[in-house]
Every structure is written in structure tokens, then in C-alpha cells.
Structure 1
Amino acid sequence: MKTCYEKTSVEWHHATSREDARIIAGLANEVWTEHYVPLIGADQVVYMLERFQSSEQIYLDISENGMHYLWLSTNNKPVAYMAWQEKPAGNCFLSKLYVLKSHRGLGLARMMMKELIAVCQKNKYLKIWLTVNKGNSKSIEAYKKMMFSIRDMVVTDIGGGFVMDDFIMERML
């Protein structure tokens, strides 16, 4: 039987180092391979992992591109991560929020979202927005439970012959 986590039973790590980036890239590889191959295919998953979720790109995002990463561990095992970035007009873009399959449904995503909301409120952001694959119904429903709503649709050419076909979801603060 799965047990819900309390904030105190989870270790929180604000990513700042190459080692953090390596850990997050490992999480990304596991989550994306399991979750996204059925949605977008293995070729696009490999392309996106190499282009957007490699340890080098993650470290560049942290050190030079203004992206904030937070990863969680339980019993010294990395289990989840998220990334966000301030955008113009006081908006926060939630770029990534991923949890290992073995740890989904235990409240980790909700805990990370609460942390992000606290950061956004402290910085007086007006809203949090994100993009989510239109076929990713479980994530869409999870975001709706966290008070996000679908505001638009977007198809983004990401190179390599691939596109992201997403909903734009937002939550006002």
C-alpha cells in the first residue's frame, strides 16, 4: 500500500551544481522513457532528452538561463523534480514537474506545487503557467486538481522534425 509523504519525510534540494544537474538528468531519463514514449514516440523522447534534459543543458539553465530547479529525494533516492522561470509581466513559467512512476499519487507533485506557489507569492507573481502535451490526460487532470485551467493551445517546432502539441494551462495567484 502506498503512503502519502509529509514534507518532513522528503529531502528538498535546490539545484546549483553539476552534480545536481546530473541527478536531475538521470531522473528525466527514467521518467521520460517510461511516461512519454507512448505519447510522442521513442525518437522524440531521445531527441528531447538530449536537447532539453541533458545534464549539460540543465546546468546551463541553472547557471546562465535563470531557471530554478528543485529535486526531491526519499531515503537518499531522487524521486521527483521541477523547474521554473520568471517571465515578463510578473508571470512564472513552470517548465518541468516530474515524479517517478513508483512515487506518483503520494502527494509529491502537490508538495512541489505548494512550494512553487509560495515562491511566486513571495515574488508577487500574478500567475503560474505551463504547457502540457494534449494527450497527457493524467497530468492534465492533476493540474486541474491544482486549480490550473486550459487557456490555449500551441504547436511548437522544436527542431529535428519534431513538434510539441500542447495545451497552455494557467493558475492565477
Structure 2
Amino acid sequence: MKFIKATENDIPLIQDLAKRSWENAYADILSAGQMEYMLRAMYSHDEIAGQLRHPNYHYYLIQDDMNDAFEGFIGYENHYEDTTTKLHRIYLVPGSKGKGLGKKALQFLTQKVSENQDTRIILNVNKYNPARKFYESQGYTIYDEGVFDIGNNYVMDDYLMEFIIHME
């Protein structure tokens, strides 16, 4: 598996991977209307392009070595708070789960975060998303929860999770 640093040329691919993964991950959690609203807001060309221009925000495409197919992506922001990196996005398309890609993506993230001298990774996960158990299996713990108004009468009802990197 390879991690390829994304550029503005990759925005259509990121949008496609997001749509495909969201349709699977959130089908039983979010309404079709909320999913469409969030995808349109969070994955617009302008939104992603702005993030890619930010020096601390990084997108990496996840590519399978075996067939060169793009299986997902990861988006994170170093120094989100002091020595904390925020994992904003990690998504895998249906059919790629269970291959160890998520685990390898989190290991890759931990390595990148360490290189940037951050010691903590935080993320939000929907309270009804089974991915929470995956994060817990990788050493992430819940430190809080929150309900966030995202506009259009929609909210995100999330657990806030963290992973502490122990520097050697």
C-alpha cells in the first residue's frame, strides 16, 4: 500500500472517494439530505483547494499496491492546537475494509505527526458509527462528546477521541 500526497489535481478523485465511502459508512446513520449537504459543503472544490493550500493541512491518497486502485484517503492538520494534530478525514471505499488499510493509515498518520513534533491526535466520530470500535482497537480513547451545528438544521453528534504519542 502506498500513501501519495494529494494535489489540487486530485480533488475530483478525493470527491469521488468521499462520496463512495460516505454512501456506505453513513447510510444507516445520516439522512440522504444531510449526507448530500455535508458532502457538498465539506468536499467542494474550493473547500479542498483551500485546505491543500494551508501549510499544515495534508491529504494523502491510499493506493493498493496489488492493483494500483485508490482505496481511500486521509486528511489531517498538524498543529491544530499546540502539539495536537486533528485527523479530519479518513475514509476507505467499500470492499477495501478488512484489508488492514485503516490500521496502516493510522500508523502512517502517527509517523507523520511525530515527524512534525506533535504528541496528540484528535478526531471526531459519529456516536453511531461503528468505526469508533476500530479507533479504540488502535489505542484511541474518548475524552469528550459534542453536538455541533453544521447549518441547514443539521448537527453532528460525535464522540471526541484522542491518541497520545509517546516520544522515545
TM-score by length of 2: 0.91
User: 2: distance between equivalents of 1:172 and 1:11?
Assistant: 25
| One-letter identity of the residue aligned with 2:156 | M
1:49 maps to 2:39: yes
| One-letter identity of the residue aligned with 1:20 | D
**3-state SS in 1 of match to 2:102:** helix
8 Å CA contact 2:77–2:85 kept in 1: the answer is yes
1:15 maps to 2:6: yes
User: 1: distance between equivalents of 2:2 and 2:121?
Assistant: 24
**3-state SS in 1 of match to 2:20:** helix
Match of 2:27 among 34, 37, 40: 37
1:25 maps to 2:21: no
1:152 maps to 2:144: yes
User: 2: distance between equivalents of 1:163 and 1:104?
Assistant: 27
**3-state SS in 2 of match to 1:150:** strand
User: 2: distance between equivalents of 1:162 and 1:64?
Assistant: 27
- Residue 169 of structure 1 corresponds to 161
User: 1: distance between equivalents of 2:83 and 2:54?
Assistant: 20
Say if 1:126 and 1:12 are closer, same or farther in 2 by CA, change over 3 A.
closer
Q: CA deviation at 1:124?
A: 1.6
- Residue 140 of structure 1 corresponds to 132
Q: CA deviation at 1:13?
A: 1.1
Q: CA deviation at 1:35?
A: 1.6
| One-letter identity of the residue aligned with 2:134 | A
User: 2: distance between equivalents of 1:133 and 1:65?
Assistant: 27
**3-state SS in 2 of match to 1:102:** coil
Q: CA deviation at 1:61?
A: 1.2
| One-letter identity of the residue aligned with 2:81 | P
Match of 1:113 among 93, 97, 106: 106
Q: CA deviation at 1:77?
A: 2.0
Between the two proteins, the alignment pairs up a number of residues equal to: 162
Match of 2:97 among 101, 104, 108: 104
Q: CA deviation at 1:65?
A: 7.2
8 Å CA contact 1:25–1:58 kept in 2: the answer is no
Structure 1 spans left out of the alignment, 5+ residues: 1-9
Structure 2 spans left out of the alignment, 5+ residues: none
Which string of whole-angstrom CA distances, capped at 9 and with x for unpartnered residues, describes residues 27-50 of structure 1?
001111122121011000000000
Match of 2:76 among 73, 84, 98: 84
Match of 1:60 among 44, 50, 65: 50
Which structure shows the bigger proportion of residues in helix conformation? 1
The worse-fitting range, judged by mean Cα deviation, of 82-91 and 57-66 is 57-66
